[in-house]
Amino acid sequence: MAETEAASAAAAAEAGPAEEGTTNKTVVLVGVDDSDHSYRALEWAVRYVAETAGAGAPVELVVVHAKPAVSSVVTLGGPAAAGDVVRYVDADLRRRAEEVVDRARRLCAANSVQGVVEVIDGEPRFVLCNAVEKHHADLLVVGSHGYGAIKRAFLGSVSDYCAHHAHCSVMIVKQPKPKE
């Protein structure tokens, strides 16, 4: 089933019309964070780009990490404590972003795939949809945490938001169910 969805999304991405004066290049954008779910999505995107490029089709990979704003993590009172905490949290967020980017670059290099890697401050759902517009992406690849309806309602779902708001096809890569 997932392979059928993948093939449909990939075919839709390739079928998009080229604008005048541009090359008919497929742009695949993948959202990454420090979760195993997003790494699985990155693996899928890298495999897809490698296969597409191997078939002779022009394709570009764009890897985007949305770094949360410090203000979304720190909500403390008191200016003295807040200043120290903000600096510490900001340094930690930058370090984690660099780890995510390094891991993505290593996976791309291991598969002989070149890609553009960007770290953008902001809420992931908005960052990814804006990046789709900026790069004129044909396909957005995101991971799924597999939340149920109740958790999704409280926590929100980046993949669900992107599926409804991104102006391109969206491939949601799910974790396989464990075999019993």
Per-residue pLDDT 10s for the chain (180 aa) are 444 444 444 544 445 444 444 568 999 999 999 999 999 999 999 999 999 998 999 999 999 999 988 876 666 555 555 677 888 888 999 999 999 999 999 999 999 999 999 999 999 999 999 999 999 999 999 998 766 666 555 556 899 899 999 999 999 998 887 787
Strand, coil or helix: 28: strand
- How far apart CA 11 and CA 101 sit, in angstroms, is 28
- How far apart CA 143 and CA 176 sit, in angstroms, is 12
Domains in the chain, CATH or no CATH each: 25-116+129-173 (3.40.50.620)
- How far apart CA 75 and CA 142 sit, in angstroms, is 29
Which stretches does DSSP call E strand in 59-168? 59-67, 115-121, 139-143
